């Protein structure tokens, strides 16, 4: 008798020299729990939960390539060699417990320095930054603020752009030294590279602005520079906002073109998100619904042949499995649902495979859950007896 194949969501996927044991990735989620960019115990416990929860790959929150490129002051950072051991601790824990670990590299550009959501999520004003003793100013492609809430960024010079590219390369080397398996380039959500891509934020008239080819230049250069130092057996992902969600903005047709070019530079997976460029696009024209960004992942996958990652309101194992089974994406990223239940991947395994046991749990837990099962069955039967 031949065994029935595993449901699509549970099938492994090998990308270059790394095998994801299933198709479930934990989406990057800012924690605002770092100290000067250093990972803390919070990060070990937070990411460790997802590792024990059965995800194939855990991605860190956006991790700043420069001190003044953070989304929030307490973001993780990778701008110095001193940050490596803290990140390595996370990767080591993942490897000891059967998961891969990746780092999301980010420069937040004109949307740098905001409060954590639970403190209001407000953009810090230049006066707030001065009060904190931080001589930081926002930067972007052009002197155009993300919205009234954000201060006007300084338009980057060509020399500053080159410096930011170098910061990404140095960060990639450090991620490798930390034992990370995957790098994800954060090219979405209105942060630096996304703002270069969008004609609504990029009004430059040099080689980095104007035509779409010029607006894509920074993304492609960063991908190329990083691929040159990121080991060839390690996967490279790029998260894109596939649409700005605003009239005259970056759109899915642009994303398809960029995805092809990034793939040619050695990007393996396009992680398909959307929005975030400005206040207007926060209320994105993309209606929120279950799996609302899956059509972007599907389109990029179909039209470019690149592997894609779908993300956004994916909440049930059946929904996630259908996305993979129907060939709409190769990976699903789970964000908030994993905050609710870090064991979501393990539960998905049990539910979809029909397994009676707890093999998807760490044996330190699974063995006890297996042992309890017959007891629970007996107790339930007793309760059901008249």
Ligand X SMILES: Cc1cc2nc3c(=O)[nH]c(=O)nc-3n(C[C@H](O)[C@H](O)[C@H](O)COP(=O)(O)O)c2cc1C
User: Which residues participate in catalysis according to the annotation?
Assistant: 191
Integer Cα distance of 312 and 161 in angstroms: 31
Choose between 29 and 170: whose C-beta lies nearer to ligand X.
Answer: 29
Q: Is there a contact between 13 and 330 (Cβ–Cβ < 8 Å)?
A: yes
Find, among 233, 219, 227, 92, the residue nearest to 172 by Cα: 227
Q: To the nearest whole angstrom, how small is the minimum distance from the Cβ of residue 61 to ligand X?
A: 4
Choose between 167 and 293: whose C-beta lies nearer to ligand X.
Answer: 293
Locate 179 and state its tokens.
Answer: 């034992």
Choose between 289 and 357: whose C-beta lies nearer to ligand X.
Answer: 289
Q: Out of 72, 312, 317, 345, point to the residue binding ligand X (CB under 6 A).
A: 312
Residue 104 makes contact with ligand X by CB under 6 A: yes
Choose between 114 and 209: whose C-beta lies nearer to ligand X.
Answer: 114
Identify each DSSP E strand in 192-235 by its residue range. Answer: none
Candidates 154-162, 166-174, 186-194, 297-305 — which segment interacts with ligand X by CB under 6 A? 186-194
Q: Is there a contact between 106 and 65 (Cβ–Cβ < 8 Å)?
A: yes
The residue count for binding ligand X (CB under 6 A) is: 20
Candidates 22-30, 47-55, 254-262, 366-374 — which segment interacts with ligand X by CB under 6 A? 22-30
Beta bridge partners of 106: 64
C-alpha angle 295-256-146 in degrees, rounded to nearest 5: 85
Integer Cα distance of 137 and 285 in angstroms: 30
Choose between 51 and 155: whose C-beta lies nearer to ligand X.
Answer: 51
The separation between the first and the last C-alpha atoms of the chain, rounded to the nearest angstrom, is 41
Locate 10 and state its tokens.
Answer: 């549970």
Q: Out of 334, 346, 348, 352, point to the residue binding ligand X (CB under 6 A).
A: 334
Beta bridge partners of 310: 272, 332
Q: Is there a contact between 189 and 282 (Cβ–Cβ < 8 Å)?
A: no
What track of x and - describes contact with ligand X for positions 64 through 103 (by CB under 6 A)? ----------------------------------------
Q: To the nearest whole angstrom, how small is the minimum distance from the Cβ of residue 186 to ligand X?
A: 5
Question: Sign of the C-alpha dihedral, residues 241, 242, 245, 249?
Answer: positive
Within positions 42 to 71, which residues make up the interface with ligand X, using CB under 6 A? 61-62
Q: To the nearest whole angstrom, how small is the minimum distance from the Cβ of residue 370 to ligand X?
A: 30
Q: Out of 9, 13, 20, 30, point to the residue binding ligand X (CB under 6 A).
A: 30
Sequence-distant (6+) residues with CB within 8 A of 315 are 290, 337
Q: Out of 107, 111, 186, 227, point to the residue binding ligand X (CB under 6 A).
A: 186
- Kind and range of the H or E element at 309? strand 307-311
Choose between 119 and 211: whose C-beta lies nearer to ligand X.
Answer: 119
Q: To the nearest whole angstrom, how small is the minimum distance from the Cβ of residue 303 to ligand X?
A: 22
Integer Cα distance of 91 and 174 in angstroms: 12
Q: Is there a contact between 360 and 352 (Cβ–Cβ < 8 Å)?
A: no
Integer Cα distance of 25 and 48 in angstroms: 14
Q: Out of 23, 239, 299, 328, point to the residue binding ligand X (CB under 6 A).
A: 239
Q: Out of 35, 122, 283, 336, point to the residue binding ligand X (CB under 6 A).
A: 336
Residue 241 makes contact with ligand X by CB under 6 A: no
- Residues forming the site for ligand X (CB under 6 A): 27-30, 61-62, 104, 186, 188-189, 239, 273, 311-314, 334-337
């Amino acid at each position: 008798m031949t065994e029935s194949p595993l449901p699509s969501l549970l099938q492994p996927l090998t990308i270059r020299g790394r095998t994801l044991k299933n198709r479930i990735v934990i989406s990057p989620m800012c924690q605002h729990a770092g100290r000067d960019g250093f990972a803390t115990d919070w990060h070990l416990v937070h990411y460790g939960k997802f590792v024990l929860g059965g995800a194939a790959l855990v991605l860190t929150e956006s991790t700043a390539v420069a001190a003044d490129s953070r989304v929030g002051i307490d973001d993780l950072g990778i701008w110095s060699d001193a940050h490596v051991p803290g990140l390595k601790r996370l990767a080591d824990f993942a490897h000891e417990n059967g998961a891969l670990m990746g780092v999301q590299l980010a420069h937040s550009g004109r949307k740098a320095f905001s409060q954590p959501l639970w403190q209001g999520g407000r953009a810090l004003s230049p006066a707030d930054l001065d009060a904190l003793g931080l001589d930081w100013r926002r930067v972007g492609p052009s002197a155009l603020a993300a919205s009234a809430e954000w201060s006007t960024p300084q338009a980057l010079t060509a020399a500053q752009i080159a410096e930011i590219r170098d910061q990404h390369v140095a960060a990639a080397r450090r991620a490798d030294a930390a034992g990370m398996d995957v790098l994800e380039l954060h090219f979405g959500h209105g942060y630096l590279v996304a703002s270069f891509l969008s004609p609504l934020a990029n009004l430059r008239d040099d080689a980095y602005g104007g035509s779409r080819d010029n607006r894509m230049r920074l993304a492609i250069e960063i991908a190329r520079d990083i691929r040159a130092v990121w080991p060839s057996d390690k996967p490279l992902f790029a998260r894109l906002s596939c649409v700005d969600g605003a009239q005259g903005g970056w759109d899915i047709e642009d994303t398809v073109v960029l995805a092809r070019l990034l793939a040619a530079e050695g990007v393996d997976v396009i992680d398909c998100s959307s929005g975030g460029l400005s206040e207007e696009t926060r209320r994105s024209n993309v209606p929120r619904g279950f799996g609302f960004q899956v059509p972007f992942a599907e389109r990029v996958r179909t039209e470019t042949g690149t592997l894609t990652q779908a993300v956004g309101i994916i909440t049930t194992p059946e929904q996630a499995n259908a996305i993979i089974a129907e060939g709409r994406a190769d990976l699903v990223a789970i964000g908030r649902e994993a905050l609710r239940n870090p064991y979501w991947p393990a539960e998905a395994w049990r539910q979809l495979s029909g397994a009676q046991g707890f093999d998807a749990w760490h044996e330190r837990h699974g063995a006890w859950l297996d042992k309890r099962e017959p007891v629970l069955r007996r107790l339930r039967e007793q309760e059901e007896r008249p």
